Every structure is written in C-alpha cells, then in structure tokens.
Homo-oligomer: A and B are copies of this chain.
Amino acid sequence: METNQSQRKNHMKTVGIVVEYNPLHNGHTYHFTEAKKQTASDAVVAVMSGHFLQRGEPAIVNKWARAEMALHMGVDLVLEIPFVYATQNAEQFAFGSIATLHATGIVDEVCFGSESGDIAWIEKLAAVLAEEPLAFQEALHKGLAQGWSYPAAYGAAIQALFPSPAADALQDYAAEPNNILGLNYCLALHRLQSPMRPTTIKRQKAGYHQETVTDQHIASATALRKLIVDHANDGLHTIRPYVPPSTFEILQAEKTAGRFPLTWERFYPYLQHQLLTRWPGELTAIHEMNEGIEHRILQALPRSTSFDDLVETVKTKRYTWARIQRLLLYSMLNLTRSKMAAINVKQGPAYIRVLGFNRTGQHLLKRMKKTSSLPVITRIAKDKHPMLMLDVQAGALYALGLPETLRQNEMQREYWQPPLHLDHA
C-alpha cells in the first residue's frame, strides 16, 4: 500500500472489516480490495476471530497464521475478537466485533459482505429492529415456541413487521447468513451510537455454506476446508487456485510444522472426557445449556463414534448444527453461566487485543493510544480480565488438539507470541 507522508500526518481514512479467514481465499481478497476502493480508505483494520469460530468450531489453522494471511493480503492491523463474542450467536458476535472496531476510535466506516449488497434495506431494517418493536418480539417468541430454529423464527418475525410484498422479500433476505450478520452489525452500530458508517459489498460467486467449487478462482471457505480435509494426505495443491500465494505458503508451512489442519475430531476425546465426568445437573450450569438439551447430548454420547456423529444425532430443527457445536465448545471449555455473568458481555469488550500489523498499522496503533476507549493489549500479563483469561484458556485448549510434541510450546503461545509485525507496507 502506498501512503504518503501528508496522509499519515493528517487523517488516514480507515475502514473496518469483520473476518474469520478460515482460511483466507480469493473471495476475501475481492472483498478486501472492494472495501478499500469503495470507501476510498487509506487503511484497513480487521477484527478477526481467534482459535474458535462463530459456528462453535476450531479454526482449521491457528489465529496467528490467519493474521499473517491477512497482513500479507494488505490488512494493516489485525485485532482479535474476544472468545466470548467470537463463538456466540450472530447478535453477540456482531456486537463484540463492532464494539471492538468502535472502541479503537480510528475506524470511519465498516464494510461487510452480504448476499443482498443493499445497505439501504439493511439500515432500514436495523432502524426498525433497534426499537425492539413488540410485534417483532412476539412473533419471534411464537416462532421459537413452535420449535422453529432461531434463523427461521427471526425471518418470520421480520416478515411480521412489514406489509406484503416487502415482507416476502425480507424473509428471503433474512434466510441469508451474511445478510443476518450485516443486519446485526448495523444493530450494534445503533446500540453503540457509533459514528462509524456501515457499507456493504455484494458477495460474489460462492455462497457461504456452498460445499462445492463452482468457479475457477473463487471457492467458499467451507468448500476449501472440505478440500483440505478430504485431501489431507495428498498435500495442498487442490486449494492452490482459490487462495492467494501467501495464504498457500503459510498453510504449507503450518502443515509441515504439524499445526494444520485442525478439526473438531481432534478435540473429541477432550469433549468426551468433560461430558463423561459431569454429574446429572452439572451440565445445566454451562452457558446456554437450556431446555434439557443436555439430556439429548448425554444420551447420544455413548452411541456416537465421532464428533460429527454426535452432533448429527443431537441435531433437531430447532437446535442447529452451529448451535450444538457452540454448546459443546462451551462444555469443553467449562464455560459456565456464572463465568459469563462475571465477564459481563453486555458491557462490551474489556480490551483490544492486537494480533498483527504492518507499518501503516503501526501508525494506526500510535493514533489509538490517544483515541482508544479500551486498553490495547500486545502482551498478556499474569493478572488479567476474566474475558482475556478465557482467550488464553481457549489458546491452551486449541494447543491440546495439536500433536503431542507441539502442545507444551503452543499451550504457552498466548504468553510468548508478540503481535506479528509485517514490515513491507
């Protein structure tokens, strides 16, 4: 990126993006490039999930490798979304992400991908929902009481707010995962009364969950992970057309080091251990373990031969794959309601954790010293906020999924790993 001295001295227009990069691929590069171009920004700040993701699963490669991919693509500053937001439902995920960008005090616009590509619709919806209208709440509860999944009930509740035919369009709209996230980003901006302006880019080619590769250069992260896992023994050449060369090299290096790929199956013994040593009733202390779903889990456990098998058995229309994965992740990390209460997620993030930066990012960090409303963390201290302790414990847990010889070192990485510094911008 070219940035001249005068821009640095004066205002550097900055766009914020919310990412998982699991792994970073050509579709992400497209969004990154468009976001910067369309907002005419000088710098890009990404808030990124750590080792565990919104759908309640471990990232296929660790957060340091993913932050490195982001920096190589051109992101100037990578910040970590705290575990306690990164692994929650869309609303909490969006709130934690946007609140982190907001707290930096240096982000002018937020740019996200969506299926609709229509910011007017999203803002209109967000403005209505921000008022928490009674009709919406009632329709939502009614849908949930009927055993619908949360997204289905949410879509129907949105439909209830508007006259047909707008309503029909809205229900379709709400069925798309990135539209829902986008809506929640805008809601979070409302809630925070943030001056950051939202903008969206229509997603190209590959759908979010699309499992097959349909374009010569664009594939969804889901499709790429499937390629990676299905071809775990034959090297990475199958994904080469769909990722930037830097991503490819980083994945190669992580694979050689034995740190990639990681899936839930690597953690299944730990999950079994946690579930098998709990007494009846103990599981109800786990965050979001409601409505007797723990009985379904414990009943399915002895019959399940793998993690995927377990989720498949427990899954219902209402308890989606992602929701069950999150519950199992909370169980594995022993994340209880009382810990969540102590962390107080409603108040927003307690810190801004820096994962990496380039030269421009370094300037942004310097500015943040004056503008940030939260402590900016580049080194983990011994005494730390419970929210940060959870990130550290998630780091240790992720290390336990690695081959035994790597665990000892990786388990401590939260303490010894300084933020990545890419010096080519």
Contact = CB atoms under 8 A, between A and B. Distances in A.
A278 B334 contact: yes
B273 A339 contact: no
A277 B49 CA distance: 19
A45 interface: no
A397 interface: yes
Contacts of A332: 277
Interface in A103-128: none
Given A270-B269, A404-B269, A397 B302 contact: no
A357 to B, nearest CB: 27
Contact of A276 (B273, B386, B411): B411
A412 B276 contact: no
Contacts of A29: none
A332 B273 CA distance: 9
A278 B336 CA distance: 11
Contacts of A282: 334
A375 B333 CA distance: 38
A210 interface: no
State the main secondary structure of chain A at its contact with B: helix
A33 interface: no
Nearest to A339: B279
A396 to B, nearest CB: 4
Contacts of A333: 277
A408 interface: yes
A272 interface: yes
Interface string A250-283: 0000000000000000000110111011110010
Contacts of A411: 272, 276, 302
A305 interface: yes
A400 interface: yes
Contacts of A412: 302
Contact of A389 (B279, B396, B408): B279
Most buried by B among A273, A279, A282: A273
Interface string A335-352: 000010000000000000
A294 to B, nearest CB: 15
A393 interface: yes
B400 A273 contact: yes
Nearest to A412: B302
B276 A397 contact: yes
A400 B269 contact: yes
Contact of A277 (B305, B393, B408): B393
Contact of A393 (B276, B386, B408): B276
